Structure 1
Amino acid sequence: MRVEQKKQKKKRKWLRNTGIILLILLIGIGAYAFSVYRSLTTAVETMHQPLERNKSDKRTEQVSLESKQPFSVLMLGVDQRSGDKGRSDTMIVLAVNPNLNSVKMISIPRDTRTEIIGKGKIDKINHAYAYGNEEMAMKTVENFLDIPIDYFVRVNMDGFKEIIDAVGGITVNNDLDFSQDGYHFPKGPVNLDGNKALAYIQMRYEDPRGDFGRQLRQREIIQGILSEGASLSSLTKYQSIFSALGNNVRTNLTFDQMNKIQRNYRSAAGNVQQMSIKGSGTKISGIYYYIVPDDEKARIQTDIKAQLELK
């Protein structure tokens, strides 16, 4: 009887000790999760930059993420320096449709000649941001593509270095052998830290594709950041990642809206279709512009309107 009691006592003690260990682990994980959540919400609050308007002038009602309506995002890559807010050297429009499970991505050449809405002049499209920040850039792109732009995400291109270093570097598949800023980039998979990535993204003149080749490398950098940021190994670096995002990204998306996009539009992210704008370069009064013919503009507008399910 005593032997049996001793066995039961040992068993209860083992269970109690195991339970304490599990509880400590759970508390630790909970504290870790809370720390991650708190850091994330702080970063999102820092990134959030509301606009004066609640919706696009090209929408009768504000887009509903809860109802899974298609929406659009303007991504602005800004060459921002101290004392100078810079120009949007990168302008990418994403049209997200959960019903078609797809995202259409179109890069607008920065030298595209168009009307700058709110400025009353014809100029390069990337000057819209310099004239009137995100608001004027969004309205100008809306006019150019004849679609509503619902959200913006602005990234300080120089801050890409901090973001890339925070995720531990990225790998891209380079399709052109070239050198830039003292770095050599061979064809094939290339590992990039922040400084190399900035050189990789800035090269344009050695590329026979010109600005289109640069846009391709910019998209590769963005995809590389997303890939590394989603990897398990990056979870231990979350604080530096969130800090880098908070320092270099601004958006009118709220934390709640980001959650809805992640929940309701996640499957669409696996099918990204790239669109290109065809045109030609020319000089007008000694200034270089990229001219998009009316029929090409109409083709792009028709495709992207169908993606957004607009009449």
Structure 2
Amino acid sequence: MSQSRQPKKSKHKRRKIILFSIMLPIMAIILVVSVYATYLYSKGENALDKAFSSIRDGKGSSLRTQKIDPTKDNMSFLIIGVDDSDVRKFEGNSRSDALIYGTLNVKTHDLTLLSIPRDSYVLVPGTDNSSEQWTKITHAHAYGGPELSVQTVENTLQLPVDHYIRFNFDSFLDIVDNLGGIDINVPVTFTEQDSKDKAGAITLKKGQQTLNGEEALALARTRHIDNDIERGKRQQLVIEAIIQKAVKTTSITTYPKLIETIGDNMKTDLSKDDITSLAQYALTKGVNVKTKTLAGSDSTIDGTYYYTLDEEALHVTANELAKELDFTPPFAAATTDDTVADDATAISAE
């Protein structure tokens, strides 16, 4: 009897050992992922806290009649790209190198990006340290940082800027490299300096390719091969490509590096809850990216080059953007040319 039971006990024991040997690594993986997720969340909170920088005394746009909730309402934002690298040796604020006004329509999932040429001739409001003057819009950031850039764009478009996001070239390079590069159909062959101002360091050929951080920055910066309008279009291409890659990135090792980049090199008045909600929105809903440019012409005033905006076209564009915000069109007399279609790209997390 005892001999007949022994094999059953041994078999049962072996089953327990096999089951334990399978479950142990699974439990270990779950434990590691749980600890990592907790670390990542904590690290993310710290980084977003570090990146947060309020303007306008924490109040919303004066053009709004009520506070906007980015998780529920259509919202606008201003992307400000600056070159404050050690090469420039700036004291205080640098000029903005890129300005993009964006709207997010949470109902239609449309993300509209309007490039504003850096040499646009606009009225920049006065500050404690500077007087009101007509000058290049790039100077607004140098005179009064993100707050004056926001105020200048609001005055120009007569539309609210609900939030701003400022990044420098270091963050740009890190984001693209940490994503493993971005895929872009480069529209033109060109040679450009790198982030250290080494002349002729970057040469890109026209066509579809994967760009690293330095190459993507060169594409976004180059402006002497044509004009600011085309430069703005290239910047839009780069931003679309970054969004496209970010929403499709599945490698968990990517996120800590991106989070560190946000904390070290970016400033925004979006709260961490707002950023988390917007990220979840993009990852689950996807976005349709539309791009716009501002029509205008080259001009010289007192020996200085400016880009003079076409007033009628500016008003039409502002009214179109107002619709994306459920905002009253600011220029009632302007007519919309419905025959002109926006460039659009659908970006999905799938």
Q: Is the TM-score greater than 0.5?
A: yes
Partner of residue 138 from structure 1, selected from 125, 143, 150: 150
Distance 1:80 1:143, change over 3 A: same
- Structure 1 residue 180, shift from structure 2 partner: 2.1
Matching residue of 1:122: 134
Answer whether contact 1:171 1:189 (CA < 8 A) is retained.
yes
Which whole-Å deviations, capped at 9, do the CAs of 1:82-112 have from their partners, x for residues lacking one? 3333111211011111112211110111111
TM-score, with normalisation over the residues of structure 2?
0.81
1:71 and 2:75 matched = yes
Which stretch has the larger CA shift, 159-168 or 242-251? 159-168
Do residues 6 (structure 1) and 10 (structure 2) align?
A: yes
CA distance in structure 2 between the partners assigned to 1:98 and 1:54 by the alignment: 22
- Cα pair distance change 1:297/1:229, threshold 3 Å: closer
> Partner residue of 1:189?
208
Separation of aligned partners in 2, 1:239 and 1:261 = 18
- Measure how far apart 1:261 and its partner are: 2.0
Structure 2 residue 124 is matched with structure 1 residue 107: no
* Deviates further, 174-183 or 161-170: 161-170
Residue 24 of structure 1 corresponds to 28
Q: Which residue of structure 1 aligns with residue 179 of structure 2?
A: 167
Match of 1:236 among 240, 253, 272: 253
SS at match of 1:310: coil
TM-score by length of 1: 0.91
Match of 1:216 in 2: 233
Alignment check: 8 A CA contact 1:116 1:140 kept: yes
Cα pair 1:101 1:267 within 8 Å, conserved? no
Q: 1:249 to 1:269 in 2, by over 3 A?
A: farther
Residue type of the partner of 1:69? D
Distance in structure 2 (CA, Å) of the matches to 1:251 and 1:35:
23
Higher RCO, Cα 8 Å, sep 6+: 1
Residue 259 of structure 1 corresponds to which residue in structure 2? 276
| Corresponding position of 1:35 | 39
The answer on whether the counterparts of 1:102 and 1:268 sit within 8 Å (CA) in structure 2 is: no
Alpha-carbon separation, structure 2, partners of 1:293 and 1:166: 39
User: How far is 1:194 from its partner?
Assistant: 2.7
1:120 CA drift (Å): 1.9
Matches for 1:276-295 after TM superposition, within 5 Å: 276-295=293-312
Deviation at 1:230, TM superposition (A): 4.0
* Unaligned stretches of 5+ residues in structure 1: none
C-alpha separation in 1, matches of 2:28 and 2:94: 50
CA 1:263–1:196: 2 relative to 1, 3 Å: closer
Query: More displaced, 132-141 or 289-298?
Result: 289-298
The AA in structure 2 aligned to 1:108 is I
**Conserved in 2, the CA contact under 8 Å of 1:158 and 1:198?**
no
Alignment partner of 1:60: what SS?
coil
C-alpha distance in 2, partners of 1:271/1:197? 22
Query: What is the 5 A alignment of 1:267-282?
Result: 269-282=286-299
CA change 1:267–1:35 in 2 (3 A) is closer
Tell me if structure 1 keeps the 8 A contact 2:229–2:294.
no
| 3-state SS of 2:67 partner | coil
Unaligned residue ranges in structure 2 (runs of 5+): 194-199, 329-350
Q: 2:331 is matched with which residue?
A: none
**Counterpart contact for 1:39–1:239, Cα < 8 Å:** yes
Bigger shift: residues 249-258 or 9-18: 9-18
Change in CA separation of 1:232 and 1:91 when aligned onto 2, cut-off 3 Å: closer
CA contact (8 A) 2:117 2:307 kept: yes
Aligned residue pairs: how many?
Answer: 308
Q: Tell me the CA shift for residue 265 of structure 1.
A: 5.9
